[in-house]
Chains A and B, each alone.
Chain A
Amino acid sequence: MAFLSKQNKEALVEPLNRNNPIVAQVLGICSALAVTAQLKPAIVMGLSVTVITAMANVVISLLRNTIPNRIRIIVQLVVVAALVTIVSMVLKAFLYDVSVQLSVYVGLIITNCILMGRLEAFAMQQKVLPSLLDGIGNGLGYAWILVVVAFFRELLGNGTLLGYTVIPQGAYDLGYMNNGMMTMPAMALIIVGCVIWANCAFNNRKNKP
Chain B
Amino acid sequence: MSKKLNTNSNLYIVIYATVMVVIVAFLLAFVSKALQKKSDANVAIDKKSQILAALCIRSLDKDMVEAKYAEVVKEEKDLDGDHPLYVCEVDGQTKYVVPVKGMGLWGGLWGYIGINDDGNTVYGAYFSHESETAGLGALIAELPFQEQFKDKKIFDSDGNVALSVVKVGKKIDGLDEGSRCDALTGATLTSDGVDQMLKSCLGKYKEILNNNQ
Binding site for B on A (CB under 8 A): 37, 65-71, 74-75, 78-79, 82, 85-86, 89-90, 92-94, 96-97, 100, 103-104, 180, 183-185
Contact = CB atoms under 8 A, between A and B. Distances in A.
Contacts of B46: 96-97, 100
B38 interface: yes
A103 to B, nearest CB: 7
B138 to A, nearest CB: 9
B115 to A, nearest CB: 26
Interface residues of B, number: 26
A71 B38 contact: no
B39 A67 contact: no
User: Closest 4 A-B residue pairs measured CB to CB?
Assistant: A96-B42, A93-B38, A93-B35, A92-B39
B24 interface: yes
Given A68-B7, A82-B27, A103-B130, A89 B32 contact: yes
17 contacts: A37-B134, A68-B7, A71-B16, A71-B17, A75-B17, A78-B20, A78-B24, A82-B24, A82-B28, A85-B31, A86-B31, A89-B31, A90-B35, A92-B39, A103-B130, A183-B135, A184-B134
Contact of B35 (A70, A89, A183): A89
Contacts of B39: 89, 92-93, 96
Nearest to A157: B135
A7 to B, nearest CB: 24
A70 B8 contact: yes
Nearest to A94: B38
Contact of A71 (B13, B27, B43, B131): B13
B192 to A, nearest CB: 22
Contacts of B45: 96
Contacts of B135: 180, 183-184
Contacts of A67: 7, 16
Main secondary structure of the interface of B (DSSP, over half): helix
Given A66-B1, A66-B16, A184-B135, A92 B35 contact: yes
Given A67-B16, A68-B8, A184-B135, 12 more contacts: A67-B7, A69-B7, A71-B17, A78-B20, A78-B24, A89-B31, A93-B38, A96-B42, A97-B46, A103-B130, A180-B135, A183-B134
Contacts of B64: none
A93 B16 CA distance: 32
Contacts of A184: 134-135
A174 B120 CA distance: 43
A103 B134 CA distance: 13
Contacts of A97: 46, 62
Interface in B77-135: 130-131, 134-135
